[in-house]
Structure formats: C-alpha cells, structure tokens
Structure 1
Amino acid sequence: MDNFLTFLAGGLLQYSWWQIIIVTLVLTHITILGVTIFLHRSQTHRGLDLHPAVMHFFRFWLWLTTGMVTKEWVAIHRKHHAKCEREGDPHSPVIYGIGKVFFQGAELYRQEAANAETLKRYGHGTPDDWLEQHVYARHSVLGVFIMLGLDLAMFGVLGLTVWAVQMAWIPFWAAGVVNGIGHWWGYRNYATPDTSTNVIPWGLIIGGEELHNNHHAHGTSAKFSTKWWEFDVGWGYIRILSALHLATIRRVAPKIRLEPATAAVSIQTLDGVILHRYEILARYTDLVKKAASEELAKLKPLRAREEVNRRWASLKRVRRLISRADDSQLE
C-alpha cells in the first residue's frame, strides 16, 4: 500500500516540484520546436528540408503532445497567408476580433480543419505514408492519451497537471498569441499589406514565432530574425541541425544592399526594389514620419495663426495615418 501511495505521489521518477517544472518546460519547448521548425518552416513554407529521422521524430512528438494532423495544420496556415485579413482567413483578428482569436483560436483551427476544400487546395505535399494514413491522421486523439498515461507514470498524480500544460501550450502560444497578438499589437519592420507585427524582438518562448511581421514579409525564409538586435531561437536549432547534416536550408530573407545612385535604372535595381518592397516602404514611412514630426515642431510656436493652424492639423492627420500614433504624442 505504501508503495502504491508513493507511486501516486511521485510516479516512477519521484521528482520534486521544481524538477517537474523544468521537465515540463523542456517538453513544451520541444513541442514548440516541432511546430515552428517542422510544421511551419519546413512543411508549410519549404524554407528548409529535414532529414527523414528528424522529420519523423517531430511527427511522432506532435502526435503525442498536440494531436494535430500535419496536413490540416499546413493547409490552414497556407490559407491564412493566401487570404490574410480578408474573407476566408481562418484566424484573423481583423475579421473575428482579437478576443475571439486569442481565447478561441483553437476552436477556429478545428472549424477550418473540418473544411475539406481547404485541405484539398492547401494541404498538398505533406506526409501521406502508411503511418500518416493509419495512425497519425486516423487516430489523432490516441497520441495525447498515450502522453497522458506516460505523464501519470512518470510523475504520479502531478502528471495530470503536466499533461494539461502540454495540451494548452500550443492553443495558447500559437493559436492565441501568434495568430492573435501577432496581428494586433507589437512593432513592424516591414510595411506588409496586413496587420502582422513582431510581438517582441526575442523569439525564445515560441521558438521565434514572435517575429511574425518578419515572417509575413519573407514567408519562405527559414530564419525569422532580420535585424541584428532580434533573436530567433528556432533558427539557432536549424543551424545546429544543418551542421549535423540533419537539415538543408533552402531560403533565408535577402539583405538589402545600397549602391551609389546612377543616372540609369537597371533590371537588377528593379528586381531589388520588388524583392525588398516591404523594407523600402517601411524606410520611406520612417522618413515621412520624421519629416512630419520636424515640421510640427517648427510650427508649434506659430499655431496662433489660422493658416499655420490648418497646416498643423493636416500634418497631424498625416502623422496619425502613417504611424497610428496617439494624438498626445503630437501635442
């Protein structure tokens, strides 16, 4: 009886509470890596190719910890890019509102996963072997219950808490934070034709997915950080896999290169403008905002004059439209 109670209290490992927290964070981190490296950067956007052993590890791990089907995830995300912020976008805060996407993002995912047309049109090129057909896709729920049994065996009754955290990790961080906050709040490096933002510049918790605006600007890039002060932990793991010959990097975001002005415009220049259009627009926007702010500073002491006041009001509207700045910043 004592042995049974001991097992219930701590499972096979008999870890302390802080050890269980560390293990839980490691397990959820591996799940995040499976989503960002395998599902997102490799399967969806083909930014890198993974060694079959690595690819199957992630498939198996995501089956255990999320129950997500590769084809469904890939199709839904590709549709998001194809119809971003427009009718048909599976999880846009612009369409559904930030509250619904943040708190019910997983439900929006399940609704779209049931759309056969979405899977047929956007789910091509994903694994379709015997395991996918007969295990991972057919019995997608089985994996998470196996994980529940493993957690209970390893940690005792606390394993139920570990399992609950694992099950909530992707719905919260990916469906809620990335799909919701990543289109609602943050900073933008690129003037993409959507509301995507970089939530924070250091992509640690969500494997680099925090840099969502960078990703929307360079969708097929295997690397999400583009500024020297940004950090993409997922890219770090990809570099390690590449060094071990377990991954082949296909694409990364090109870096803009400025050359001295010339009288003639070459084809190479036009290609560069098209390739870097989002960054060029962002830089131009910054220049306009700076010019507007400087002009407002000059006009501020002269606002008593009617003509100057009208110009002040016009510049304020321009500045507000460009930067979405609060009026108080201009007073």
Structure 2
Amino acid sequence: MAILVFFVAHYYLSLFTQTFYLHRYAAHKMFTMNKFWEKFFFLFTYICQGSSFLSPRAYALLHRMHHAYSDTEMDPHSPHFFSNPFSMMWKTKIIYGEVVENTYDPAKRFEGDTPEWKWLDQFGGTAVSRLGWGTVYVLFYINFATAWWQYLLLPIHFLMGPLHGAIVNWGGHKYGYQNFDNHDKSRNTLALDFLAFGELFQNNHHKLPMRVNFGVKWWEFDPTYMFIWTMDKAGIIKIKRKQKAPIRVAA
C-alpha cells in the first residue's frame, strides 16, 4: 500500500507542478503571483519532480516554440516526425539540453519573462541532484516494497517529468477529437482528463493558448483549473484574463 500511495502521489504532484507552474505560469503567464509564491512554487516544482526536474526557463522556451511551430519540422516535439514516443523524447531531450546551455538558436527569440532562480535552476539539472533523488526513491522501495514487480515502477519515478511530456505531446497530437481547426494536428484525447490534469485538451489549448481553463465544452473537465480558481480566490495568484471560448464550437 505504501508503494502505491507513494507512486500515485509522485505522479500527480509532479504532473500538477508541470501543468500549473511550468506550463501555465512559466510558459504562458496566464496568471501572476508575487515573488514569494513564485519562489515557493519553483522550490515545490523541484521537490515534486525530483530526479526529472525541468528548468522553468527551458520548458517555457520549448513550449513557446511548440505553439509557434505546431506540428511542423520546427516543433521540438511533434509526434508526426517520429516512429515512436521514445525517439520523440530523445530528440526533445537533446533540444532541451541545448536550450539549458543557451546554444539552441531557434529558441532564443522566445526568451523573456520566465521565473528566475539561477542557483536552483542549475542545481536541479546536475547529476548530484538527479542521482540524489533517485537514491531516495530506491531507498523508499527497499524499505516498503512488498513484491518484486513493484521495483518495475522505479524507472517511471526517475523520468516522471519527461514521461508526462511524452504522454501529452504524443497523445494530444495523435489521438482524440477536435473542437477547432487550428491548422495543426492537436487533439483532445480525454473528455475527463484524469491522466494529465487537463493537458490532454491540446486542441482547445492551441486554439485558446491564454485560456486558463483548458476545457471548453461543458463536459470537458480540467482538474488543474479547479486549483487555479481556488488559488485566485484565495489571493495566492491572480488570473490575468478569463478568456472565453468562441461561440461557435464544432459539434
């Protein structure tokens, strides 16, 4: 039971920080927060992602490229140029590394207005940090695993952040339905997105990139928006604008 609780907690906490902080805040700035909360959620993202921590700046630049060049050869992670999710992940990893090192020229035009905490940003990507978190996961399993097969979950812990990205970018641009013609291959994969906390409403998001609620139709439930709405009401964040969906939505 302890292993299951740990796995589910790590999966969804890492997922939440990726969609809330890295995507909706760092990349799109859909809402604002003061410096205290910006640093708090920066640290929270590092803790929750652990060994697979993704730099907010690098994530933001790659994601801005993804919107600008969606499903073209310049898109850093369109599934339509790869035979499987793993080759897409590997190519994204290479580009991500170059963005971190500031050597990937196509990303430079998307610089600016990203959360800054240089020490933690750099440390989170070091071998010391990644191996340290990996050791924590292994020790937890050694102490609480009750069956051999549970150890098969460890690689998911190690690569949690990139795996979430692969699920969204592969599934959200290959499988599902479209509400809008965005001149790309974005799809809404799940009407109730329990798997990616709203990130699999890719077709909606590409049509309305500043809409904080990724659901458009009444039955499309975006779990992350529930948390964002609550934090907005509590004064932790402030939603910039509540972008409405177009009146005409495809049936």
| Correspondence for 2:132 | 146
Matched residue type, 2:104 = A
Is 2:111 aligned against 1:126?
Answer: no
Is 2:239 aligned against 1:249?
Answer: yes
| Correspondence for 2:122 | 137
Question: How many angstroms does 1:44 deviate by?
Answer: 0.7
Aligned equivalent of 2:165, options 145, 156, 174:
174
Higher relative contact order (CA 8 A, sep 6+): 2
**1:164 & 1:93 partners in 2: Cα distance?**
22
Identity fraction in percent: 22
Aligned in 2, Cα 1:139/1:210: closer, same or farther, shift over 3 Å? Answer: closer
The superposition leaves residues 269-316 of structure 1 with CA deviations (integer Å, 9 ceiling, x where unpaired) of xxxxxxxxxxx4x54xx6xxxxxxxxxxxxxxxxxxxxxxxxxxxxxx
| Correspondence for 1:14 | none
- Name the one with the larger helix percent: 1
Between 58-67 and 71-80, the greater mean CA deviation after superposition: 58-67
What is the RMSD of the two structures over their aligned residues, measured on CA atoms?
2.4
Question: How many angstroms does 1:167 deviate by?
Answer: 2.3
Aligned equivalent of 1:116, options 98, 104, 107:
104
**1:191 & 1:210 partners in 2: Cα distance?**
16
| Correspondence for 2:57 | 71
Contact 1:222 1:235 in 2 (8 A): yes
**Secondary structure in structure 2 of the residue aligned to 1:173:** helix
**1:204 & 1:57 partners in 2: Cα distance?**
25
Higher Cα Rg, which structure = 1
Aligned in 2, Cα 1:139/1:48: closer, same or farther, shift over 3 Å? Answer: closer
**Secondary structure in structure 2 of the residue aligned to 1:219:** coil
Equivalence map 1:313-324=2 (5 Å): none
**Secondary structure in structure 2 of the residue aligned to 1:200:** coil
**Secondary structure in structure 1 of the residue aligned to 2:159:** helix
**2:88 & 2:35 partners in 1: Cα distance?**
31
Question: How many angstroms does 1:240 deviate by?
Answer: 1.9
Is 2:232 aligned against 1:239?
Answer: no
Contact 2:51 2:134 in 1 (8 A): no
| Correspondence for 1:229 | 219
How many residue pairs get matched? 237
| Correspondence for 1:31 | 14
Matched residue type, 2:229 = R
Aligned in 2, Cα 1:65/1:237: closer, same or farther, shift over 3 Å? Answer: farther
**2:66 & 2:30 partners in 1: Cα distance?**
17
Equivalence map 1:251-290=2 (5 Å): 251-256=241-246, 280=248, 283=250
